[in-house]
Amino acid sequence: MRAALAWAVFGLACVLIILGGSSGEHLEDVAIALGFVPLGAYLVARRQGGVVGPLCLLAVFSAVAYAAEAHPAAWAVWVARWVWAPPLLVVCTVLLLHVPDGELPGRRWRPVVYVSAVATAVFTLLVAFAPEEGNPLGLGALRPVMGALAPVLVVLVLIAAACAVGLIVRTVRARGQRRLQLLWICVGAVCFVASVFAPSVVPPYVLPLTLAGMFALPVSIAVAMLRHDLYQTGPLLRRFLTYGLLAALMVGLYAAVLAGASALLDAGPSAAVAAGAVAIAVEPVRRWLARAAGRMLYGGHGDPLEIQSRLAGRLAEASAPGEILAVVADAAAEALRTPYTRVRLGPEQEPLKSVERGQPAQITMSVPLRFQGEELGRLDVAGGDDVRALEQIALQAGAALAAAHRAAALQHSRLQLVTTREEERRRITRDLHDGLGPVLAGIGFTADAARNALEQDPRRALTLIGEIRAQVGEAGQSVRHLVRGLRPPELAQLGIVKAVEQTALGLRMEVSIDADGVAELGAAVEVAAYHVVREALTNAARHASAAHCAVRLRRCGGTLEIEVADDGTGIPERTGPGIGLTSMRERVEELDGAFSIGAGPRGGTVVRAVIPVQEREDW
C-alpha cells in the first residue's frame, strides 16, 4: 500500500505536467517535480532515507503549480500562488539538513528547521494574498506589510546557505564510502541552491543554465545511489542489469543460432538447436554478467550481499575460536581487497586470540567487534576506504565472535588455573623440601643421637630430647605456614568480619568495618574478599600513611561489594601495579568479578571489588 501510494503520487505529477502543456513558462516547476518526485517515490516504496522520501514527494506541488498556471480560471491562478514556493524552499533548507539518512546532524539544527518552517509559511502567505494585479484574492490590508517580503526572503537565503555549508562540513568530516556519497550530494546541493536564487541576480541568457541546475541535486543523489550504494540500491540495480542484459543476450543468441541453423536444417530442428544453445549458455552467461555488474557497481570491492551470504554460511560451519576469527578475516580481506587484515579478540595488550591475513602494514581502518553492547575486540585493515562494509561484516559476525570470545576466555582462564595450580604445587613442594623436610630430617638425626647417648650420657640425651622438642615446634610452624598459604585459618575459626578485625589490630591506624550479609559466603569468595581487604589495609598503613580506613562488605543480591577507603596520601603518579595490586585483581577476576582502584572524592585511595556470589561453594 505504501509503495502504491508513493508511485501514485509520481503518476499524478506526470499527469499534471502533461495537463500544464508546453507553454515554456515556469519550467523550473517541471524540473523540480520530475527531479524529486520519482526519487521520493522510490525511497518511500523501499522504506529508505527516513523523511527524505516524504520531503521529496512534496515536489508534487510544483507539478500542481505548473498545471494551475496554465489554467485560465482565477482560482487556478490563486492555487498556483499558494503551492509553488513551499516545495522549492523545503528542498533548499530542510531537505539539505536531513539528506541522506533522514535525521538532523544534531540538536543544534532544530531551531534552524523551526525558523525555516516559519519563514516559508510567512513567505507563502504574503505571496498568496499579495495585493497586486492578477491575484484574485489579493488583500489590500496587507499592503503595509508587503515590505517584509524581502527580509523574509533574505532569511530564507541565509538558511539555505547555512544548510549547504552544514552539508559541506559533514562531507569533510565523513570517512570512507559515506564521504563519497556526501561528496556527490554536496556538489548537487550547491548547484541546486545557486540555481534557485540565481534568477534574481544573473542576466537572462544564463537562466537556461539555472534550469539545468535544478536537476543537479536529484541527479547527484541518484549517482550516489548507483555508484556508492546509497540507500542499498546496489543489489537491486545489479539484479536489473544482470537479468536485463541476460534477456537481451539470450534473445540475440537465439536469433543468431536460429539464423545459422536455418541455412542447414529445417525450421523445426533449427528452433530446437537454438533453444538448446540458449539452455546451455544461460547459466554461465548469467554468472559472468553478475560478476561484471558487481565490478561495475562496486569497483574493486566484492558484492556486499554475496560476501555476507558466504560469511553467514562459513560462520555456521566454524566452531573453534580460531576458525571463527579466520572466517571473519577472510571475509574482510575479500570484501575490501586489502593487503593486510587482522582480527583480534580481547584487549590489545593481551589478546585472547588473533588472526592475520597478508603482510603486516600500517592500519588505516579499525572497527570494534561488539555483541549486545560489549566490545569483544577489533577488526583492523590496511588500505581500503569502505568503512561501512567493514562495519557490516563486524555486525554480522558479532554473535559468533561472542561465542568465540567466551570460548577463548574460558580457555585462557583454564590455562591460568592450571598455571596457578602448578605454581602453588611448586611452592608447596619448595616449602616442604626446603622447610619441613630438613626439620624432620634433623629430628630423625637428633633422635638417633639421643638413643645412642641414653645409656652412656643421660644428660646429653636429655639435652638432645629438648632439641627434638624445639625442632618439633619448628616443624609445626612450617605446617601452619603451609596451611595459611592454602587458606587463612582465622577465616575458618573467626569468619571474615572477625578475621578483618584481627588484621586491623596489628596496624597503626583506625579501622571501621561495615558488614552486612557476609556470614554465609562460599569458601572461594570468602578467601578472595579477605585477601583483597587485608592487602588494601596493609597498603594503606605501610605506603599511604593513612590515619583512618573504612571497610565496607555488603552482599547485594547476587554479588558481594567490597570497598576499602583510606585518608592517606593516595597513589603516586606514574606508579605501576605491584605484586599486591596484581594479586588482588587476579583473585577477583578469577571469580568473574570486577576490580578497580583510584583516588577517593576527598583524597586518599579507594579499592573496590564486586564478586558474584552463588550458593555456598565449599571446595
Residue 549 half-sphere exposure, CB side, CA atoms within 13 Å? 31
pLDDT band of residue 25 (cuts 50, 70, 90) is low
pLDDT digit string, tens, across residues 175-231: 767 888 889 999 988 888 888 876 665 565 566 677 778 888 888 888 888 777 788
Whether pLDDT at 618 is above 50: no
Whether pLDDT at 468 is above 90: no
pLDDT of residue 297: 59
Q: How many residues in total does the chain contain?
A: 619
pLDDT of residue 552: 92
Of 20-29, 193-202, 580-589, which has the strongest mean pLDDT?
580-589
565 DSSP β-pair partners: 550, 606
Residue 102's nearest CA partner among 145, 48, 146 is 48
The whole-angstrom separation of Cα 228 and Cα 241 is: 16
pLDDT band of residue 553 (cuts 50, 70, 90) is very high
Cis peptide bond prior to 72, omega within 30° of 0? no
CB burial of residue 1 (10 Å; 0-12, 13-18, 19+): exposed
pLDDT digit string, tens, across residues 598-610: 888 888 899 999 9
Q: What are the residues whose beta carbons fall under 8 Å from the beta carbon of 369, sequence distance 6 or more? A: 343, 345, 375, 376, 377, 378, 379, 394, 397, 398, 401
Strand blocks (E) in 273-383:
340-345, 353-358, 365-371, 374-382
Q: Is the pTM of this model over 0.85?
A: no
- What backbone torsions phi and psi does residue 302 show, to the nearest 5 degrees? -80, 165
Contact 600/565 with Cβ under 8 angstroms? yes
pLDDT of residue 296: 64
pLDDT of residue 65: 87
Of residues 562 and 459, more confidently modeled: 562
Whether pLDDT at 385 is above 70: no
pLDDT of residue 598: 86
Average confidence (pLDDT) over 359-381: 82
pLDDT digit string, tens, across residues 29-53: 888 888 899 988 988 988 888 899 9
Catalogue all structural domains in the chain, each as residue range(s) with its CATH number. 2-232 (no CATH), 235-298 (no CATH), 412-486 (1.20.5), 489-612 (3.30.565.10)
pLDDT of residue 551: 92
